Amino acid sequence: MLFKSDIKLLVVHCSDTPNNNNIDASYIHNMHLGFGWDGIGYHKVILRSGKVENGRPEYWIGAHVKGKNQTSLGVCLIGRNKFTKKQFISLEKILKKWKKSYPGAIIIGHCDDNNTKKTCPNFNVIKWSKNLKL
Ligand SMILES: [Zn+2]
């Protein structure tokens, strides 16, 4: 169980699938089930169209950032390194909402966590979110 006060990090991910693959949350759900997890590890998924799909509810601990799942929420952009304008608009909306709900939390990209060698989500989330004053 995640409590509001637990959440210190809002972590942005990508699905690391080819940019032209229009997969959705149910695809990721099945993929993560295949890893032996309790289904999709993210809390939100943003499709190439900009549509937002729900993953785990926000009170449920995610599976997306090693060692910090107890203190974070995760959102995943479908794609690898080129995201659509609509995806960025949706990402901004989600993070704005989360910042309101979890005012103490900071926004990072998965790669900004020092516990991973991944480059996910392949853009500078900190710089992007600062530019938008998130
Ligand atoms: Zn990631």
Q: Which residue segments constitute the domains of the chain, with CATH numbers given?
A: 4-131 (3.40.80.10)
Kindly report the pTM of this predicted structure.
0.97
Distance 133 CA to ligand 1 centre (A): 23
Distance 110 CA to ligand 1 centre (A): 5
Q: Using one digit for the tens of pLDDT, what is the confidence trace for 16-53?
A: 999 999 999 999 999 999 999 999 999 999 999 999 99
Distance 50 CA to ligand 1 centre (A): 18
Count the neighbouring beta carbons within 10 Å of the beta carbon of residue 82: 12
DSSP annotation of 111 reads G
Closest CA to 84 of 7, 22, 29, 3: 22
Count the neighbouring beta carbons within 10 Å of the beta carbon of residue 58: 16
User: Who surrounds ion ligand 1 at CB < 5 A?
Assistant: 13, 110, 120
Q: Using one digit for the tens of pLDDT, what is the confidence trace for 64-110?
A: 999 999 999 999 999 999 999 999 999 999 999 999 999 999 999 99
Block residue for tokens 């990508």: 14
